[in-house]
Amino acid sequence: MRRVAITGLGAICALGAEVQSFWHALLSGVSGIRPIQAVDMAGFRFRSGAEVANYDAAQYWDGGRADQLDRFAQFAVIAAREALRDSGINMTPQLAARTAVVMGSSVGGQSSQDAGFQEVYLRGRPRVHPLTIPRAMANAGSSHISMEFGITGPALTTSTACSSANHAIGLAFWMVRSGVAEIALAGGSEAPFSYGLLRAWEAMRVVSPDVCRPFSRDRAGLVLGEGGAILVLEPAERAAARGARIYGEIAGFGMSADAHHITQPSSAGPAAAMLQALADGGLKPAAVGHINAHGTGTVANDAIESRAIREVFGAESDAPLVNSTKSMHGHALGAAGALEAVAAVLALHTGIIPPTINFRQADPECSINLVANQAQAAAIAACLSNSFAFGGLNAVLAFRRHTS
């Protein structure tokens, strides 16, 4: 089996419109969580979100072409442009036929659908915009990436709620490792800020009224975010031969289903997914120095995830250093795993682990080695990035440092 290198990164989210500003904000402990602008939040039980600030699609598309894309698909293409440019890959037609695009999205172009349905239900009009379907379909991000670069190999979208991007990256990793694809662009994108969807999240009673405090005893829920992120994957041998910069390797991928409850998590499924990611990558638990946690900041997730981490790695003081970058970029649902993969890969590459901000009080239910409030230097050989979804679908990526 081939080793799989990560040679390009792209990201856009509340912390920045490209990887450099995203990473700098993460290390500085900057929060991208602010009062929501897209929707009038008067009368809501929460007001905060992590939106991409001052975003103007016209900066990325000429002549109104952006109108064909829902905001979530725009984020997908913007991240793909940066990642492919970063990789230095010359996408010839021959290579494009052997390149895969695998993207995650939980809710797709729901704001386009919401806008269309407002026309018929609220304003009583008999028709909606003709591009509502192509904008709203969850695969639009993958489709627009393939068209943008002329990529004609396998292209698909995974939709497993908050695990969507990890499932996408994991499947793309397996495709490159096995030789099904030579190159893969993999990640996720999401843009969940519409009135209808925010009301639905409010009804779930899992959204924090203000900030996100993962693993803190006084945590009060998640904060929604948006954005997109992409990793360029290729065989390590190929990357080395063309002299590419290698950020690290994907070592393994593990997935599992809780088969337990549609919203209540359990620790067995997440622990199984972590163990499978380790086994798939031939890693021993002791090799893992860092975990970018799912860490949503909900009462249930953080306690269950902490238990799962202890089940896999033990409770010793040398257990992996855990962070939740959602404390800064919010919970970007189908893009979450992709943003967090970029954060985990850069932590591995640079030896600095971004903090979990807003941490105030230790919780006996969350007994883990948390990187709290300040970034921490740590030379790590391997790390995990966890994603666990409503519906009990778990996906864990294992990364390791590249050695020639």
Partner 1 sequence: MELELAEKVVGIVAAVTRRAPEGIRRDATFDEQGIDSLDRINILFELESAFNISIPDEEARNIRSIDEIVERLKARLPAPAESAGA
Where on the chain is the footprint of partner 1 (CB under 8 A)?
45-46, 203-205, 207, 209, 220-221, 261-264, 299-300
Least distance in angstroms from the C-beta of 107 to partner 1: 20
Min dist. Cβ of residue 210 to partner 1 (A): 11
**148 vs 210, beta carbon nearer partner 1:** 210
Is residue 331 annotated as a catalytic residue, yes or no? Answer: yes
Nearer to partner 1, 179 or 209 (CB): 209
- Separation CA 38–CA 71 (nearest Å): 12
We find the least distance from the C-beta atom of residue 208 to partner 1, in angstroms, to be: 8
Catalytic residue, from 13, 144, 162, 212: name it. Answer: 162
The CB-of-199 to partner 1 minimum distance in angstroms stands at 12
Minimum CB separation of residue 45 from partner 1 in Å reads 6
Contacts of 279 (CB under 8 A, 6+ apart): 252, 254
Q: Which residues contact 120 (CB under 8 A, 6 or more apart)?
A: 126, 127, 128
Maximum C-alpha span of the chain: 64
Query: Which of 144, 294, 329, 349 does the annotation list as catalytic?
Result: 294
Catalytic status, residue 167 = no
The residue from 144, 329, 331, 349 that is catalytic is 331
State the Rg of the chain over Cα.
20
Shorter beta-carbon distance to partner 1: residue 46 or 72 = 46
Q: SS3 helix, strand, coil % of the chain, rounded to 5?
A: 40, 20, 40
Closer residue to partner 1 in complex, CB, 45/85: 45
Closest CA to 337 of 255, 243, 235: 255
Helix (H) or strand (E) holding 156: strand 155-158
Q: Report the b/e string of 324-335 with b at 16+ CB within 10 A.
A: bbbbbbbbbbbb
Token pair recorded at residue 303: 């306690």
Active site residue 383: no
Active site residues: 162, 294, 331
